[in-house]
Chains A and B, each alone.
Chain A
Amino acid sequence: MHRLLGHTADLRAELSAPDFATLCAEAVDLVREVLVGPSEVVAREERRVHLEGEEEAERFFRFVRELIYLADVDGFLPSTCSPDDGAVIVSGEPFDPLRHQSERQVKALTRHRYLYERTTEGLRAELIFDL
């Protein structure tokens, strides 16, 4: 599950999931929605994102940050993802102005009030994006 929360500078979101792989999938859905809203994104290409960082919280942070990088550097829109031996395979396709509604560009994922915690239901994260 993910939802947007208020923040006067930019965009704040809360994500929760039973496990790390599902949380990554929620992040993929969130980033896609932020970039192109409800536009359909087809899994035509794959990008392998290595999970870097000593702690799980840092690995998740860097994973989301990489989604933003991929979108900015070659217009790659994420559709789905699956874990793969210390990495996450992200499927998606490049932005196509004829099929995708441009919603917003994301400059960065900030570390301000970044939250990553275990809950009784699994995992919860709070993210603030700079738009």
Chain B
Amino acid sequence: MKAHDRGLPKLKRIDKFRWAIPKTGAMQTDGLVFASAVQVKDLETDESLRQVANVACLPGIVGPSIAMPDIHWGYGFPIGGVAAFDPDHGVVSPGGVGYDINCGVRLLSTPLAAEQVRPRLRELVDELFRTVPSGVGSARSDVKLGDPELDRVLVGGAARAVEMGYGRAEDLAAIEAGGRLAGADPAEVSKRARDRGRSQLGTVGSGNHFVEVDWIDETYDDEAASALGLGAGTVAVLIHTGSRGLGHQVCDDHLDAMLAAARKYKIPLPDPQLCCAPLSSPEARAYWGAMNAAANFAFANRQLITFFVRQAFAKIFGEAVAEGMSIVYDVAHNIAKLEEHEVEGRRRRVCVHRKGATRALPPGHPELAPRYREIGQPVLVPGDMGRASFVLLGLDRAASETFSSCCHGAGRRLSRHAAKKLARPRNLVRELEAQGILVRAASRATVDEEMPDAYKDVEAVVDVVAGAGLAKKLVRLRPMAVVKG
């Protein structure tokens, strides 16, 4: 019997924001779901809770199989899922990272107030659309990497992009891991993956990826917000994209190897997309080298996009404005990392998979750059293109309960198919423009499928993680202009 043929797992309420999926059958551990009572009702209509339980069946899992309140039905792992594995007895799973390795979000602050930008917003969004390719066939003719340069990007990530002239040295201190993950092995990145990625550096892609101009509508901690350049009324830019075709191909290549590995190591799979290999195996080492290389490609991709976003602002508002644009933070939400965490009272090294979940380090964490050490790591939570996005700050509770992880977005509530049907009689671009939000997109299909109604209310999602003590709100952003694929 396939997992999806069985009924949904039973949920047991722990408190206002926490629900347990008690261990049954092949589950090695409990599931832990962060959600409100209203959100839980929605989860009963899809397969995401079953997927939380399926992840709990994987060998060597440490702590519970965790779901954030933006959880929705993924393929294998749920989107919004977190799972940690013992380095000696556990596994790494490409499905637990996703096709878009190091899909993530970067936030830029600007020295501009919203009222300075509004009169020239149309020019700005047109320039952003022109300068950052998106949609089917998006590629850059001005950045095409030969193998030696691509290797340097795969190892050096955002740091290599800065060396190539795309940005400033100080940008790197505002990126998770300095924009470069150790352990990258370009030799494990196939020719097919290289061919997919070599002309896509500096492109945003399509689907839920975007470049968005926002304004800070509300601050919850004025001092910390100002320290990060996010004062009330100022304009900021959110960039959401990942490792593009290179990362997708790395995942595909290694899924095939992991399917064979799961058979070889006799790992029972409730879903083939959960295929995995023991962390100590040669298959896992190969994936690890390729995954980190793809993650570095993604950091470099967001670095190039930042360069072109600054160029667009310079063209419309002048060089001084572009000079004043700083990276607030850049964080991955599709990744597996070896990290040290406290588990049941002792420090342990574990391999944390975050599939649609954001790292959220608390204040004082040694991995944080000095500017964040007092306040905690910024957690970037984009919502939808009609309502809001949030910046949160990581708290100690996340460190003790979720391997320092938090939500990554609003989470879909409608399928693309359903959203498109709903949007068909409407003109969403015009509707959003009437609300003061300009949208430039390579296709109508993307706008329809990404309509605000397709997503959960991000405020309700953020209220759960804040209520549960995983993170606290720093600022709320409202969209002004969106560039989509």
Give residues in A with beta carbon < 8 Å to B: 4-12, 35-37, 65, 69, 71-73, 75, 94-95, 97, 100-105, 107-108, 110-114, 128, 130-131
Contacts and interface: CB of A to CB of B under 8 A. Distances in A.
Residue of A4, A8, A35 most packed against chain B (CB within 10 A): A8
Given A73-B245, A101-B443, A104-B446, A6 B418 contact: yes
B136 A35 contact: yes
A75 B137 contact: yes
Grouping DSSP codes into helix (H, G, I), strand (E, B) and loop, the A interface class, with mixed when no group exceeds half, is mixed
A83 to B, nearest CB: 24
B273 A8 contact: no
B416 A11 contact: yes
Given A6-B418, A69-B196, A102 B135 contact: yes
A108 B251 contact: yes
Contacts of B195: 73
B417 A108 contact: no
B99 interface: yes
Contact of A7 (B196, B205, B415): B415
Given A8-B414, A10-B75, A105-B207, A95 B137 contact: yes
A9 B79 contact: yes
Residue of B2, B79, B196, B273 most packed against chain A (CB within 10 A): B273
Contacts of B196: 69, 72-73
25 contacts: A8-B46, A8-B413, A9-B72, A9-B73, A9-B412, A10-B416, A69-B192, A73-B192, A73-B245, A75-B139, A94-B137, A95-B137, A101-B443, A102-B135, A104-B485, A105-B485, A107-B245, A108-B251, A108-B252, A111-B255, A111-B273, A112-B76, A113-B2, A113-B4, A130-B99
B75 A72 contact: no
Interface of B: 2, 4, 46, 48, 72-76, 79, 98-100, 135-139, 192, 195-196, 205-207, 245, 248-249, 251-252, 255, 259, 271-273, 275, 412-418, 442-443, 445-446, 449, 485
A14 B421 CA distance: 18
B189 to A, nearest CB: 14
A2 B251 CA distance: 27
Contacts of A12: 415, 417
B135 A8 contact: no
Nearest to B203: A105
Contacts of B259: 111
A95 B136 contact: yes
Nearest to B198: A73
Nearest to B208: A131
Nearest to A97: B137
B442 A107 contact: no
Nearest to B242: A107
Contacts of B252: 65, 108
Given A9-B79, A72-B196, A112-B271, 8 more contacts: A9-B74, A10-B75, A94-B137, A95-B136, A104-B136, A104-B485, A108-B248, A130-B99
B449 A104 contact: yes
A112 B273 contact: yes
Given A9-B74, A108-B248, A111-B272, A100 B412 contact: no
